[in-house]
């Protein structure tokens, strides 16, 4: 049984340099899991913090479950992340350093459990973002050229 992607944070790779990745479990309510099975989550502007020796995820929006009752969950509540104590201490010391933050990169199901992939990230400046876009454009141009060259060689044979 593999992984089933729920949502992805593409903006994180544009705005940050991702230096390390961590996998964390999440403490959720039943209606949140049902809503996630329907793919109703949004990672935009979400981030993680370490407070009192525990990690929490802020601004993760999980839409209310359509068939839920009055005990449905609050869509924007703070959710606890499940990490090992050593990982939390390491992340806490890194986050205190200048410019580091903890960003969720994606949320997915792994063996029936909801997991969040966190990235220890450092912010990009505007010129870094432009440089990354240039490099991606050049890579795409090279791929197109190689593909075209392969077609020409095939047609010649």
CB 9 within 8 A of CB 44: yes
Question: Does residue 143 or residue 30 have the better pLDDT?
Answer: 143
Number of structural domains the chain divides into: 2
Work out the number of other CB atoms within 10 angstroms of the CB of residue 43. Answer: 23
Instruction: Say if pTM beats, i.e. exceeds, 0.85.
Output: no
Q: Is 147 found in the same domain as 97?
A: no
Q: Are residue 101 and residue 129 in the same domain, yes or no?
A: no
Residue-level pLDDT at 108: 95
The confidence score (pLDDT) of residue 118 equals: 94
- The C-alpha atoms of residue 43 and residue 49 are separated, in whole angstroms, by 15
- According to DSSP, residue 60 is labeled -
Residue 87 in contact with residue 22, Cβ under 8 Å?
yes
pLDDT of residue 128: 79
- Please tell me the number of Cα atoms within 13 Å of 80 on its side-chain side: 10
* Same-domain status, 89 and 113: yes
Query: Do residues 67 and 7 share a domain?
Result: yes
pLDDT score at 157: 64
Task: Determine the average pLDDT of the residues in 28-41.
Answer: 87
Question: Is the same domain home to 13 and 46?
Answer: yes
**CB-side neighbour CA atoms (13 Å) of 113:** 11
Identify whether residues 116 and 131 lie together within a single domain: no
Clarify whether residues 60 and 111 are in a common domain.
yes
Whether 83 and 93 share a structural domain: yes
**Chain position carrying tokens 């029936």:** 112
Average pLDDT over residues 47-64: 91
Residues 36 and 66 in one domain: yes
N-terminal to C-terminal alpha carbon distance within the chain = 44
* In a shared domain, residues 86 and 57: yes
What CATH code is carried by the domain that includes residue 71? 2.40.280.10
* CA dist., res. 95 & res. 120, Å (int): 8
8 and 56 in a single domain? The answer is: yes
Q: Are residues 113 and 154 in the same domain?
A: no
Domain enclosing residue 144, as ranges: 125-157
Residue 54 pLDDT exceeds 90: yes
Q: Is the pLDDT confidence value at 17 over 80? A: yes
């Amino acid at each position: 049984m593999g992984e089933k992607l729920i949502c992805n944070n593409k903006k994180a790779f544009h705005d940050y340099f991702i230096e390390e990745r961590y996998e964390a479990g999440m403490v959720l309510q039943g209606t949140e899991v049902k809503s996630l099975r329907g793919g109703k989550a949004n990672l935009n502007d979400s981030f993680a913090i370490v407070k009192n020796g525990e990690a929490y995820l802020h601004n993760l929006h999980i839409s209310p479950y359509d068939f839920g009752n009055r005990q449905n969950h609050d869509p924007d509540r703070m959710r606890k992340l499940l990490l090992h104590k050593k990982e939390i201490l390491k992340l806490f010391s890194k986050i205190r350093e200048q410019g580091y933050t903890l960003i969720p990169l994606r949320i997915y199901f792994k063996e029936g459990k909801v997991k969040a992939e966190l990235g220890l990230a450092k912010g990009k400046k505007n010129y870094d973002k432009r440089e990354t876009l240039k490099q991606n454009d050049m890579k795409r141009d090279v791929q197109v050229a190689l593909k075209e060259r392969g077609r020409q060689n095939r047609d010649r044979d």
